[in-house]
Chains A and B, each alone.
Chain A
Amino acid sequence: MIECVDSARASTPEARASGVRPWHGYGLGLRTEHFDAVLNEKPDVDWFEIISENFMVAGGKPRHYLDEIRARYPLAMHGVSLSIGSTDPLDLDYLHELKQLARQVEPIWISDHLCWTGNGGINSHDLLPLPYTEEAIAHVVSRIGEVQDFLGREILIENVSTYVSFANAEMEEAAFLSEIARRSGCRILLDVNNIYVSSRNHGFDADAYVAVLPAEKIWQIHLAGHSDYGDYVIDTHDHPVRDEVWALYARTLERIGQVTTMIERDDHIPALAELVAELDHARRIGESVLQPARAACA
């Protein structure tokens, strides 16, 4: 399915309400190490994604740089603490802080992960796997609903890398994610690297996974590097994006059309220019895959 969307129009509230996938171009994860470089080098990056929790601080440099960078670039807010799949109550203090931050940042959107991070009040600070059951779908859908009502906007939910799957699963992960997106109205942040990592660990077909998803709901793509140990693969975000993932990215775009894309790097963080060059690679793939389609639209 290929959509031709006018990017200026796609960001309007009307377009959002109509569910048309907006287009914001190519972004990078904003990391502390690059604060000064972003301001001084004015990199050719369309937008940045912040980790929301990193800016839930009272003041000082983080907030200063956030304001300065927000004045120059659109930002998306990506959280790691929503714990949407946990059986603990939703953390209302967290949601208040998230909403407060969103008021200041005016992000293009707010995202978090399809996982749970803690239970019994204890936070693992990891993205832990859910069983793919009807019970979990109902639980997650009702919580996404609460979060969206509270924030007054739809959120994006991201597939995570997993290393364990559960015997009580009633469906595949792609069906689980699709059903949650359909029922809750949330959008999908598709992490192509995570699909690759999990497909290797669990032995499923990554392309078939993408084919199952409701394409119109995929509003953002994550790309990242992983570590390949042969028998298993770990999502480490400490390498450039690997060729297998670039290839899956290209096939994904062919299937679903143009999607706002960014690269995550969380460890062994190189100079900003290196990540900008890596992002250009994503841009080239996007352009080469979508050029024929664009010509057809014209």
Chain B
Amino acid sequence: MISLDPLEQRFLAHVRGGAEFPRAWCAQGRVDSDIGLSIYANAYSARLCEALESDHPVLAAYLGDALWAEFCSGYIGAHPSRVRSLRHFGAQVPSWLAQQKSFADYPAIAELAAFERALLDVFDSADGGRGDWSELQSLDPAAWPGLRLKFHPSVRLLPTTTNAVEIWRALKDTQSPPAAGASSVPARLLWRDRERISRFRPVEADELVALRSLLSEQRNFADSCEQLAVTRAADEVPALALGFLRQWLDEGIISQLDIASDGAPAPR
């Protein structure tokens, strides 16, 4: 008698990729067991392809039917799902694309995928507070150097070397995409706004320096000003940094202004 574990193993191997499932293990019902097994095998790949397409509609349009099918079967074979929700099945899509010879020669493809995944993350990442300008104004200026920022959990900083976002935008508007090329800006910032609408915008070189320091490396305000001073004249830096802070607070991408973490809290 066939016990449960080998039956499941063989059945799943068959469903995933055609390994043989012994026909003698199937009862002959009204539907032939070959047809029954193929219904499961077809549903397996169809469901996973569908999940990838719902996460990456623009990538699918960009690749076209044949390449998209090649991508789906390659990815599904390389990364069988180990997650409980299909929401996360495609988590490795950008890195996988970046490593595959046939796709890696066109880096816009992996960047397009990374952009779509960032949008997904922005959509359902954790909620958080929204700091505002008046809070910053109420801080004692003496405390500013030690200021650290807690960004809203939805914020994603995405470096861009190609024009993947321009390609995304054109295809989203059902226009023909521009030829693949270099990015006009070094990064994009994505976040979910106060009305829960996903937003993104370009990030220029100076702001990227400030974001790397304050967001990615979680350094304090003084450190980020020092970073800015590497490429900017020292007397330009305070206004520049303050301008970024103002913009971020207005956009609602800062959850919290934290001045206590460098030691004694500054007097207010």
Mark A residues whose CB is within 8 Å of B: 53-54, 56-64, 81, 85-87, 91, 94, 116, 118-126, 128, 130-131, 133, 135-136, 139, 163-169, 200-203, 231-232, 234
Contacts and interface: CB of A to CB of B under 8 A. Distances in A.
B196 A61 contact: yes
Given A164-B26, A164-B33, A203-B29, A119 B12 contact: yes
A59 B126 contact: yes
Contacts of A57: 87, 124
Contact of B125 (A54, A58, A133, A167): A58
Contact of B12 (A53, A62, A120, A131): A120
Contact of B31 (A53, A64, A91, A202): A202
Given A60-B127, A124-B44, A164 B85 contact: no
A165 B26 CA distance: 6
Contacts of B15: 124, 126, 128
A151 B222 CA distance: 50
Contacts of A64: 196
Contacts of B2: 131, 166-168
Contacts of B47: 125-126
Interface stretch (B34-42, B56-64, B206-214, B240-248): B34-42
Contact of A124 (B16, B123, B154): B16
A135 B40 contact: no
Contacts of B87: 53-54, 57
A71 B37 CA distance: 44
A234 B5 contact: no
B43 A126 contact: yes
A93 to B, nearest CB: 8
Nearest to B47: A125
A60 B154 contact: yes
Given A60-B125, A169-B27, A87 B8 contact: yes
Interface of B: 1-5, 7-9, 11-12, 15-16, 24-27, 29-31, 33, 35-37, 39-40, 43-44, 47-48, 51, 80-87, 89, 122-128, 153-154, 192, 196
B82 A122 contact: yes
Contacts of A128: 8, 11-12, 15, 40
Contacts of A62: 124
18 contacts: A60-B125, A61-B196, A81-B84, A87-B5, A124-B16, A126-B15, A128-B8, A130-B4, A135-B3, A136-B4, A163-B37, A163-B39, A167-B2, A167-B26, A201-B31, A202-B29, A203-B29, A232-B31
Contacts of B86: 125
Contact of A166 (B25, B30, B122): B25
A54 B86 CA distance: 9
Contact of A167 (B27, B80, B128): B27
A231 B127 contact: no
Nearest to B15: A124
A39 B51 CA distance: 27
A75 B33 CA distance: 38
Given A58-B126, A126-B47, A119 B25 contact: no
A91 B8 CA distance: 17
Contacts of B35: 163, 231-232
A165 B81 contact: no
A60 B25 CA distance: 47
Given A122-B81, A135-B4, A59 B125 contact: yes
A128 B40 CA distance: 8
